[in-house]
Amino acid sequence: MNKRLSWFVLLMLVLGFAFLYGPIVVLVSYSFNDNKLMTLWGGFSTRWYPILLQDEAVLTAAKNSFIIAAVSATFATVQGTMAGYVLARYRKFHGRVAFSGMVTAPLVMPEVITGLSLLLLFKQLDDVIGWPDRMGFTTVILAHITFSMSYVTVVMQSRFSVFDMSLEEAALDLGARPLKTFLLITLPIVAPAVVSGWLLAFTISLDDLVITLYTNGPGSGTLPQLIFSKVRRGVDPTINALATLIITLVASGVITSHILMTRSEKRRQRDIQLALQINK
Amino acid sequence: MAAERAKAEPSTQIWNDPNAQPYIRIENVTKKFGDFVAVNNVSANIYRGELFALLGGSGCGKTTLLRMLAGFEQPTSGKIYIDGVDMADIPPYERPTNMMFQSYALFPHMTVEQNVAFGLNHDKTPPDQIKSRVDAILDMVQMRQFAHRKPHQLSGGQRQRVALARSLVKEPKLLLLDEPLGALDKKLREATQFEIMNIQDRLGITFIVVTHDQEEAMTLSTRIGVMNNGQIVQVGTPKEIYEYPNTKFVADFIGSVNLFEGNIVEDEPGHVLIESTEAGCPIYIDHGISAAPGAKVWVAVRPEKMKLDKTKPDDANNCAGGVVKGIAYMGNMSVYLIKLDSGKEVKVTMSNQRRAAEHAIDWDDRVYVTWHANSPVALLS
């Protein structure tokens, strides 16, 4: 094998990374810019971070975002798991095609449309039954569940479709009722997929702006909403600091989960090797 | 081997007792998946303490039948009774059966001990008893020292023993085994076969084993049900199935056989004479079959019941001339491939009694294939 990288491969690598991470590097470095003007470098400073952390509006928006993301991700995971289970297990039932189409429709639906239709729905509901009265946490959370559930459904459906059915049959055969079987056998085995479904829903919710704009009201503004409005009023370096914090949070989350996964995989491999050596 | 076992214990031949009540009654069971008929009008009686093997090729319906006994599939029509109880509306978790799965289906997130205890936990067994019963069964399959391992930390043979322990620990009335030894190598297989036979003797549980391996079925079982295209084509002890197959399919499926097509010339109570151009000689069988004269029959002769001679014998019956076309040396015996004068090829096995026989038969030698009058079986279909 050719051990030296050819100049072409190297160039592509550099360009690729530059394309992906260049903007982020710029953003992060300008968060340490002393100058109040975004585009002019005025020396190194960390002064935007304390300012950011004392900004009541930012902290409230961050809190709102996390509450909305956590609650909607949890509900979306429960519903998405159920939908994925049904779609993977029951090959034939009335309206299966319609159900499968509807449940994944938000994946391809333009967000502007989804948001608008939800807004109209909530307005209509308010006129007819006097609920939801006004836009706020409830409506945003419901809206987020609607689309993040689709992602969880896709994750769970693919997990359940490769699930070894004989494990459930074995549990039934040993006297466990169907619900117990699901809770004691099925769920623990698919738990990693459930967790990654939840994380996916959480990040999508945290990240969403368009649908949130339609369905949110005063007092429950999210971080993306805040950033969006701040940018419109003119960017100030606290936004860079905020973005840097978010990137750090996400990156450390990804790296931690990666380390945990590799470590458990390594342990598994070692166990298998050990088992093979001992058992002759 | 199993035939010897049955001979040693005549009381185990319970199926010959007209007063015996079958423990499992399968009555006209049919299972369809869409248009495909997986199990076609099967009836069978299985008695307490039997080790019954369902033997057949892939897709013959044996696993579907087993899954219906376990309750994972419902018969399209027909009834299954276990110990006199109709199983129609009884879900798997309420049936007195346990199953050992082909894939073992060990719960990956539980230790060996937890896997084995799972069934007892759902059985209202007192906790102190669970521990002792799990330990006892793990001792029996020699897996006690691995009690705290997870399934992926075990080798194939160990997993198989855990699966066996898990299906035995509840002491079911009926144990269903789906290709239990499929994934094991030959040595481990033989050891486990005897282990299963021991357990069966000791616990007196009724076993139904699904297998495609005729050797496994012959070794393990008291009786074999041979399946083909969703039907049980013959039920009998391993010896009956081997020596007296009732159809060409069974004769061919179990062991190796030479088949000659022919027509009945004489059918007396004491003997039959069959004309066969394929054999190139009249075939004389020393027991009668009831068939119309002139009827078409197939004569089945096992290779080990044939003999090779270099000189032509006196008796013209049961003697076909041919040329040696191939010899496979297997150590304890040799298989000879003979091309008869009719063009038909037959296999003959001869044990290698002497290291280098003086009259050794060699390639392209002119030989005569002979067999005793009680060796062939005449088959009508």
Contacting residues of A for B122, CB less than 8 Å apart: 174-177, 180
Q: Are residues B293 and B358 in the same domain?
A: yes
Residue B289: pLDDT band with limits 50, 70, 90: confident
Residue B311: pLDDT band with limits 50, 70, 90: confident
pLDDT value of position B96: 92
What ipTM, to 2 d.p.? 0.82
Q: By residue range, what is the domain housing residue B292?
A: 256-379
Q: How far is CA A220 from CA A93, A140, A260, B265, in A?
A: 41, 9, 35, 100
Domain annotation covers residue B137? no
Q: Is the pTM of this model over 0.95?
A: no
Q: Are residues B220 and B270 in the same domain?
A: no
Asked if pLDDT for residue B86 goes beyond 90, the answer is yes
pLDDT value of position A2: 57
Tokens found for residue A29:
């470095």
pLDDT value of position A86: 92
| Of B194, B348, B376, the residue nearest B282 (C-alpha) | B376
Tokens found for residue A237:
């370096």
Domain annotation covers residue A154? yes
Q: Please name every residue paired with B261 in a beta bridge, in sequence order, or none if there are none.
A: B298
B224 or B216, higher pLDDT = B224
Contact: B103, A164; criterion CB under 8 Å: yes
Contacting residues of A for B153, CB less than 8 Å apart: 271-272, 274-275
The pLDDT > 90 percentage for chain B reads 52
Cβ–Cβ under 8 Å, residues B104 and B159: yes
CA distance A275 to A3: 36
Q: By residue range, what is the domain housing residue A240?
A: 36-249
Q: What is the CATH number of the domain that holds A153?
A: 1.10.3720.10
Averaged pLDDT for residues A134-146:
92
Name the average pLDDT for chain A.
88
Residue A107: pLDDT band with limits 50, 70, 90: confident
Q: Are residues B211 and B288 in the same domain?
A: no
Determine contact: B115 vs chain A, CB below 8 A.
Answer: no
Torsion of the alpha carbons at B287, B289, B293 and B295, rounded to the nearest 10: -120
Domain annotation covers residue A19? no
Residue A275: pLDDT band with limits 50, 70, 90: low
SS3 B111: coil
A218-237 pLDDT per residue, tens = 889 999 999 888 888 877 78
Q: Are residues B191 and B282 in the same domain?
A: no
H or E, element range at B272: strand B272-275
Averaged pLDDT for residues B322-346:
91
CA distance B82 to B71: 12
Q: Are residues B276 and B233 in the same domain?
A: no
Cβ–Cβ under 8 Å, residues B43 and B54: no
Provide the strand spans (E) within chain A: none
What is the phi-psi region of residue B212: left when phi exceeds 0, alpha when psi lies from -120 to 50, beta otherwise? Answer: alpha
Eight-state DSSP code of residue A33: B
Q: How far is CA A73 from CA A198, A204, B172, in A?
A: 6, 9, 44
Burial of residue B143, with CB atoms counted within 10 A of its CB: 0-12 exposed, 13-18 middle, 19 or more buried? buried
Domain annotation covers residue A11? no
Nearest neighbour of A170 by CB, restricted to B91, B105, B109: B105
pLDDT value of position A280: 42
Asked if pLDDT for residue A33 goes beyond 80, the answer is yes
SS3 B19: coil
Q: Are residues B265 and B243 in the same domain?
A: no
Q: Are residues B68 and B215 in the same domain?
A: yes
Domain annotation covers residue A233? yes
Residue B9: pLDDT band with limits 50, 70, 90: very low
Domain annotation covers residue B157? no
Determine contact: B153 vs chain A, CB below 8 A.
Answer: yes
Averaged pLDDT for residues B15-32:
90
Domain annotation covers residue A175? yes
Cβ–Cβ under 8 Å, residues B53 and B241: no
Domain annotation covers residue B156? no
B93 or A39, higher pLDDT = B93
Q: What is the CATH number of the domain that holds B317?
A: 2.40.50.140
Contact: A173, B103; criterion CB under 8 Å: no
Domain annotation covers residue B123? no
Lowest mean pLDDT among A80-89, A125-134, B220-229: A125-134
Name the average pLDDT for chain B.
88
Provide the strand spans (E) within B47-120: 51-55, 77-82, 85-86, 97-100
| Of A208, A211, A228, the residue nearest A139 (C-alpha) | A211
Contacting residues of B for A190, CB less than 8 Å apart: none
CA distance A151 to A197: 7
How far is it between the farthest Cα atoms of chain A? 74
pLDDT value of position B286: 86
Q: Please name every residue paired with B333 in a beta bridge, in sequence order, or none if there are none.
A: B351
H or E, element range at B232: strand B231-236
Asked if pLDDT for residue B8 goes beyond 50, the answer is no
On the question of a cis peptide bond just before residue A132, with omega within 30 degrees of 0, the verdict is yes
Buried b (16+ CB within 10 A) or exposed e, B202-231: eeebbbbbbbbebebbbbbbbbbbbbbebb
Residue with tokens 């088992």: A275
Domain annotation covers residue B111? no
Contacts of B155 (CB under 8 A, 6+ apart): A275, A276, A279
Nearest neighbour of B92 by CB, restricted to A164, A172, A268: A172
CA distance A249 to A207: 13
Q: Are residues B16 and B35 in the same domain?
A: yes
A to B CB pairs, distance under 8 Å: 80
| Of A176, A188, A162, the residue nearest B166 (C-alpha) | A176
B195 or B207, higher pLDDT = B207
B84 or B10, higher pLDDT = B84
Instruction: Domain count for chain B, please give it.
Output: 2
Domain annotation covers residue A92? yes
Cβ–Cβ under 8 Å, residues A216 and A140: yes
Tokens found for residue B138:
């793990």
Tokens found for residue A63:
């809190």
Q: Are residues B293 and B309 in the same domain?
A: yes
Domain annotation covers residue B122? no
Determine contact: A98 vs chain B, CB below 8 A.
Answer: no
Cβ–Cβ under 8 Å, residues B279 and B371: no
Determine contact: B40 vs chain A, CB below 8 A.
Answer: no
Contacting residues of B for A276, CB less than 8 Å apart: 155
B91-105 pLDDT per residue, tens = 999 999 999 999 899
Averaged pLDDT for residues B253-266:
90
Instruction: Domain count for chain A, please give it.
Output: 1
Averaged pLDDT for residues B228-239:
94
Q: Are residues B328 and B372 in the same domain?
A: yes
The shortest C-alpha distance from A82 to chain B (Å) reads 21
Residue of A nearest to B72 (CA): A169
Tokens found for residue A213:
């704009």
Averaged pLDDT for residues B243-250:
92
Contact: A175, B93; criterion CB under 8 Å: yes
The shortest C-alpha distance from B145 to chain A (Å) reads 12
pLDDT value of position B5: 45
CA distance A101 to A95: 10
CA distance B252 to A179: 47
Q: Are residues B40 and B183 in the same domain?
A: yes
Asked if pLDDT for residue B6 goes beyond 70, the answer is no
B40-84 pLDDT per residue, tens = 999 999 998 889 999 998 889 999 999 999 999 999 999 999 999
CA distance A99 to A121: 20
Listed ranges A54-63, A127-136, B357-366; the one with the highest mean pLDDT: A54-63
Domain annotation covers residue A8? no
Residue B10: pLDDT band with limits 50, 70, 90: very low
Domain annotation covers residue A239? yes
Nearest neighbour of B98 by CB, restricted to A174, A176, A185: A174
Q: Are residues B331 and B218 in the same domain?
A: no
B113-141 pLDDT per residue, tens = 999 999 999 888 898 899 999 999 898 88
H or E, element range at B132: helix B127-140
Residue A43: pLDDT band with limits 50, 70, 90: confident
CA distance A104 to A98: 10
B335-354 pLDDT per residue, tens = 999 999 999 999 999 888 87
pLDDT value of position A258: 81
Q: What is the CATH number of the domain that holds B191?
A: 3.40.50.300
What is the phi-psi region of residue B255: left when phi exceeds 0, alpha when psi lies from -120 to 50, beta otherwise? Answer: left
Residue B7: pLDDT band with limits 50, 70, 90: very low
Contact: B108, A275; criterion CB under 8 Å: no
Domain annotation covers residue B158? no
Domain annotation covers residue B206? yes
